[in-house]
């Protein structure tokens, strides 16, 4: 069958990647979607069980660092668009093992870029109609201040805060022109990969695009990250490890809203440009944690406040960035994208999903899913 487009999505068996693959494979039946994933501890084909029978969907188990394999795949599937999400994504792991992050996030991205370059430059039309879209993070910008002006109550104490709220307090945001200032090995590796992507545009004319997004939440997130970890721990009556004083601030975006932004940018974003993606939805960790506790307790039929005692303050993350906050007005203004889900609704859906998908959580937390799904689908 002749497809209108042949799109390679890397990291499609991970958290965000699986939502992007699902969106593209269902919304664009005339596109071939090739999902390339190494299936590390974070990759799980169960995330895509509902779409694996689609005729426009193909899964390939491969490592983006394997340059020869990347070259072979480009021509085998006549790839004309790449959405690159494959990465090591957890900050705590990067603190323990920075080498793996440099290997996958930097060398892996370079291997993919070089394979795309050689393949596209070998075609008569060269870069015409091609796109290399790299998914990055707000963490490359460093950290912002938290302190409210003297005598003013912090807007982070009780609820998520809007852009207007923050502007009233004279707070800063990351914009697309904020200078890179990464602090963790994870963000340093992502910053490096962003630079390589832009270098391939500036040097070879490759039609690249980079977006930097804030913290995603929603179904299929690996339960090492704050929200699924805490939901799962509450269910199992395990301690909830709050780093430091729980004062750090993150901007949370529902994962399907990120996937929609990726769709918008892939199709309509300006080549060589950068877009920030965020929810204007900042929460102090401890306030967010209390919302999670309240929601899980309510859904499990526990009395209000029942699980508050599980909160356990632990040693802070090394180099823990205080606050991330994305100004996403450019994508709103230029491409008309904005988050569709209010946080209250998003967190309800998310908690409900994890409580309803205990088999998924149990398999993932036991590590069994890697052999379980190999047995089910064959070791591809």
Cα dihedral across residues 64, 65, 69, 74: positive or negative: positive
- Least gap, CB of 342 to ligand DAU (angstroms): 20
Partner interacting with residue 288 (select from ligand NAD, ligand DAU, none; CB below 5-8 Å by kind): none
Can you read off the two tokens belonging to residue 365?
């937390």
Residue 138 a catalytic site member: yes
- 293 burial level (CB within 10 Å; 0-12, 13-18, 19+): buried
Specify the residue for token string 């704050």.
226
The site for ligand DAU (CB under 6 A) is made up of 89-91, 137-139, 214-215, 225-226, 229, 241-243, 248, 250, 285, 317, 324
For ligand NAD, the closer CB: 37 or 327: 37
178 binds, among ligand NAD, ligand DAU, none (CB under 5 to 8 A by kind): none
Catalytic residue among 63, 138, 251, 321: 138
Least Å distance, CB 306 to ligand DAU, is 20
> Nearer to ligand DAU by C-beta: 203 or 315?
315
C-beta of 186: minimal distance to ligand DAU in Å?
A: 7
With 0-12 / 13-18 / 19 or more C-beta atoms within 10 angstroms meaning exposed / middle / buried, residue 262 is buried
User: Pick from ligand DAU, ligand NAD, none: which does 248 bind, CB < 5 to 8 A by kind?
Assistant: ligand DAU
For the chain, report the end-to-end CA distance as a whole number of angstroms.
23
176 binds, among ligand DAU, ligand NAD, none (CB under 5 to 8 A by kind): none
Our CB check for ligand NAD shows the closer of 93 and 165 to be 93
CA distances from 142 to 120, 225, 323, 329, 340 (A): 34, 19, 9, 19, 27
Which one of 31, 119, 133, 186 is the catalytic residue?
186
Binding site for ligand NAD (CB under 6 A): 10-11, 13-17, 37-40, 42-43, 63-65, 85-89, 104, 108, 135, 137, 190, 213, 215-216, 222
SS3 for 20? Answer: helix
HEC string for 41-80: CCCCHHHHHHHCCCCCEEEEECCCCCHHHHHHHHHHCCCC
Residue 165 contact, options ligand DAU, ligand NAD, none, Cβ 5-8 Å cut-off depending on partner type: none
Does 377 qualify as catalytic in the annotation? no
Note the Cα 173 to chain centre separation in Å: 19
Side-by-side strand order, sheet with 57-61? 57-61, 31-37, 5-10, 81-84, 131-137, 208-213, 274-277
Tell me if residue 139 is catalytic.
yes
- Identify the active-site residue in 63, 80, 139, 282: 139
């Amino acid at each position: 069958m002749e497809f209108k487009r042949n799109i390679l999505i890397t990291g499609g068996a991970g958290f965000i990647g699986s939502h992007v693959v699902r969106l593209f494979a269902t919304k664009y039946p005339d596109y071939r979607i090739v999902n390339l994933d190494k299936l590390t501890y974070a990759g799980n084909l169960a995330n895509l069980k509902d779409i694996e029978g689609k005729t426009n969907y193909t899964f390939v188990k491969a490592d983006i660092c394997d340059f020869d394999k990347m070259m072979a795949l480009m021509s085998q599937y006549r790839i004309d668009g790449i959405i690159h999400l494959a990465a090591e994504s957890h900050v705590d792991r990067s603190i323990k093992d920075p080498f793996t992050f440099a290997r996958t996030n930097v060398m892996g991205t370079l291997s993919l870029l070089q394979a795309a370059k050689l393949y596209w430059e070998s075609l008569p039309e060269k870069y015409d109609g091609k796109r290399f879209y790299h998914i990055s993070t707000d963490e490359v910008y460093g950290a912002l201040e938290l302190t409210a002006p003297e005598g003013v109550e912090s807007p982070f104490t009780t609820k998520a805060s809007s852009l207007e709220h923050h502007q009233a307090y004279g707070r800063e945001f990351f914009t697309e022109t904020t200078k890179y200032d990464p602090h963790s090995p994870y963000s340093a590796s992502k910053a490096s990969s962003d630079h390589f992507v832009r270098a391939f545009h500036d040097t070879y004319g490759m039609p690249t695009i980079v977006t930097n997004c804030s913290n995603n939440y929603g179904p299929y997130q690996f339960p090492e990250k704050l929200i699924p970890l805490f939901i799962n721990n509450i269910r199992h009556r395990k301690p909830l490890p709050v780093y430091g004083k729980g004062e750090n601030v993150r901007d949370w975006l529902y994962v399907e809203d990120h996937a929609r932004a990726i769709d918008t940018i892939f199709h309509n974003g300006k080549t060589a440009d950068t877009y920030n993606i965020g929810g204007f939805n900042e929460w102090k960790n401890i306030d967010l944690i209390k919302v999670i506790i309240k929601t899980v307790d309510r859904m499990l039929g526990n009395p209000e406040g029942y699980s508050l005692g599980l909160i356990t303050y632990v040693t802070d993350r090394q180099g823990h960035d205080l606050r991330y906050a994305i100004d996403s007005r450019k994508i709103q203004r230029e491409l008309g994208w904005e988050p569709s889900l209010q946080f209250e609704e998003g967190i309800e859906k998310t908690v409900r999903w994890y409580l309803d998908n205990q088999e998924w959580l149990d398999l993932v937390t036991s590590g069994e899913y890697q052999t379980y799904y190999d047995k089910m689908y064959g070791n591809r």
